[in-house]
Chains A and B, each alone.
Chain A
Amino acid sequence: MWEQIRANKRKSFVLIVLMTGLLGALGYSIGFAVAGVHEGGLMGVGVALLLTAILCLTAWTGGDGIMLATAGAHQIERSDMPQLFNVVEEMTIASGLPKMPDVYLIESNSPNAFAVGSPRRAVVAVTTGLLSRLNRDELQGVIAHELGHISNFDCRFMVLAGVIVGAIVFLADAFWRGLRYGGRIRSRGRGGGQAQAILFILAIVLAILAPIFARLLYFACSRKREYLADASSARFTRYPEGLASALEKIETAAFGETNVSRVVAPMYIINPLAAHEAFGLFSTHPPTDQRVRILRSMAGGASYAQYEAAFRKVSGKGVLGGTTLADRTAVPLRAPSAETEPTMADRRREAMDVLYRASGFLVGQCSCGTKIKVPPTYGETNITCPSCGKTVTVQPASAPAPAAADDPPVHVTLEPGHSWRSVDCPCGNSIPISPEFAARRIRCGKCGRKIEIDQ
């Protein structure tokens, strides 16, 4: 694992150096072509690097915030969505991240998820559409994929690489516009005419090729990282089928949604804007059916080696580096979880209610069965029910069963036996207890209450 991260860092470093070199070359040739002297070229390099430095600084200090704001994400607490937090917590432990990432919720019917940040300061964002469609195993697969990105340092790298690509595209674009609207470029150098002409042509060639090249580089490593994150997800969850069926569900539902920001799109688990584009060199994500086929053909275990074997079987070549595969730890597959799943409507209502609470909606229940939710800016608290005509008073919504973290623990006696049993929390949640369970205390995943078990 650590070997893999180190190899990743090394490769990333080489890539960043390559891209910076490309940026410098573009800056130099544009500078020289415009000014006609060597100093002009150096100045071009200076401008290019300065531009990149400014962009990097912005991305480093406020990038996560900007990204989340663009996507319209709200931060949520454990008491809002305990099940989601449980999944994130489990996967944090499985992935060995030093700190649990912050969890954000995005209101969008398109099912998707993305992660930003580095292992010490990470954020996972999921959409309401994702939560309403996926069951626990599938959600776990998706969260593990995102945490895989974080623990492989992908988010950091992709932001940095994205910034350099952006700078290259920006410079090339500025050069083109300068050519088109800025009139003729005059030679100022003494006798430097020929060198300038050559560099001028070089600048044109670079201005055409550099953005294409930079994007190709960026997309190629983006795709490779997606496979790696898939492999990590299989390993963390020990259940590749979860991610595979989640990817299928996401793909059938994601396309056709166009209300996604272009900036955030490549960060999602499946690129929602790539709906009708054929898979090619410019895709940020590998084709979904291939990802699913690889995950499904993993047999006998969930380790990196098994993922590599499955990848070879499907595509005929390898994808993971030798250092990753050196990790020979056996990771057995697990069976799907046997919990009864809440319906799609339950899950959607839960996710939407979190957002309503976050924006301060007032809620009232009419006796005819209609629930009325009113935005805080509405002004009135007595609403005529449109369904039956009765007057309903709305009031601020309270979180379900406030987290009773410091309440005295509840005592529950567990009937003796060697099979699976369950413990009922006063909040109504039923907690399954495995036959091997030996601890004296558990915490309810729904309300956070401590429960002492007398065996």
Chain B
Amino acid sequence: MLCPVCKCHLIVLELDQVEMDYCASCNGIWLDPGELELLLHMGNARPGPLSHALRTGGHKVWGQKRRCPVCRSKMLQVEVKGPPRVTVDRCRYGHGLWLDDRELGQLIEAAGGTHDAGALGRFCGRLFKGRRAPAQGDKDHVGTDSGQ
């Protein structure tokens, strides 16, 4: 699969049997509905705003350049309400969600809630534990900071 932003190959990261597609150059992640479901299933979490966003809603954006890595159709933008409040890109055919570096950072920061953004955020927090908080985070920093 190719990254919707920088068009380079995505790599797959697996932690505790859950997978995530990750772009090593722009630090965005691609969220597969199957993996999200697995994550919720394992953590006994209830589907929240993010998994809802995966299926419904979203609007076309003028000048949208990001295409779904699975079906190459232009993605829709969805506003995910509830903590954290982010705008993510969604494949209109339900292939998945794209969270870029900033959105992922917000998600990780907001982790700790009872929503599935929380379950996902906690997971991403563990997966990218070397990451700094997004407010001061610059893109080059991720990956060079070795976590303990």
Q: Which residues of A contact B (CB under 8 A)?
A: 109, 128-129, 132, 256-259, 343-346, 348-349, 352, 356, 361, 368-375, 377-379, 383-390
Chain A residues positioned under 8 Å from B27 (CB to CB): 386
User: With contacts A256-B94, A388-B129, A388-B130 known, what are 5 further pairs, Cβ within 8 A?
Assistant: A343-B42, A371-B13, A371-B14, A378-B11, A387-B15
B9 & A368 in contact (Cβ 8 Å cutoff): no
User: Which 10 A-B pairs rank lowest in CB-CB distance, beginning with the nearest?
Assistant: A109-B34, A389-B146, A373-B12, A371-B14, A345-B17, A259-B93, A378-B9, A374-B11, A388-B147, A109-B33
Q: Does B138 reach chain A (CB closer than 8 Å)?
A: no
A369 to B17, CA, bound (A): 10
Chain B residue numbers with a CB within 8 Å of A384 are 24, 143-144
Using A388-B146, A389-B130 as known contacts, say yes or no to A372 and B34 having CB atoms under 8 A apart. Answer: no
Contact for A129 among B22, B34, B143, CB less than 8 A: B34
- B147 touches which of A346, A368, A377 (Cβ 8 Å): A368
- Chain A residues near B95: list those with CB within 8 A: 259
B70 at the interface (CB under 8 A from A): yes
Q: Determine the chain B residues whose CB is within 8 A of the CB of A257 once the complex forms.
A: 94
- Do B146 and A390 have beta carbons less than 8 Å apart? yes
Per DSSP, chain B at the interface is loop
B residues near A386, Cβ cutoff 8 Å = 13, 22, 24, 27, 127-128, 130, 142-143
Residue of B nearest to A378 (CB): B9
> B residues bordering A, Cβ < 8 Å?
1, 9-19, 22, 24, 27, 32-34, 37-38, 41-42, 55, 70-71, 93-95, 127-130, 142-147
Question: A352 — which chain B residues lie within 8 A by C-beta?
Answer: 19
Chain B residues within an 8 Å CB radius of A370: 13-15, 127
> Are A377 and B9 in touch, CB under 8 angstroms?
yes
| Complex partner residue of B38 from A258, A344, A361, A375, CB under 8 angstroms | A344
Determine which of A258, A344, A377, A390 lies in contact with B41 in the assembled complex, contact meaning CB atoms within 8 Å: A344
In the complex, what distance in Å separates the CA atom of A439 from the CA atom of B45? 47
- Asked if A372 and B13 make an inter-chain contact with CB atoms under 8 angstroms apart, the answer reads yes
CA–CA, A345 to B93, complex, Å?
24
CA A388 – CA B15 in complex, angstroms?
A: 12
Residues of A within 8 A of B128 (CB): 386-387
Closest CB in chain B relative to A389 CB, distance in Å: 4
A257 to B93 alpha-carbon distance, docked (Å): 8
Complex alpha-carbon distance, A386 and B27, angstroms: 9
User: Given A346-B17, A352-B19, A387-B127, A374 and B12 touching (CB < 8 A)?
Assistant: yes
Q: A373-B11, A378-B9, A384-B24 are in contact. Are A389 and B145 (CB under 8 A)?
A: yes
Please measure, in the bound complex, the distance between the C-alpha atom of A208 and the C-alpha atom of B16, giving whole angstroms. Answer: 58
Determine how close the nearest CB of chain B comes to the CB of A342; give it in whole angstroms. Answer: 11
Q: For residue A129, which residues in chain B have a CB less than 8 angstroms away from its CB?
A: 34
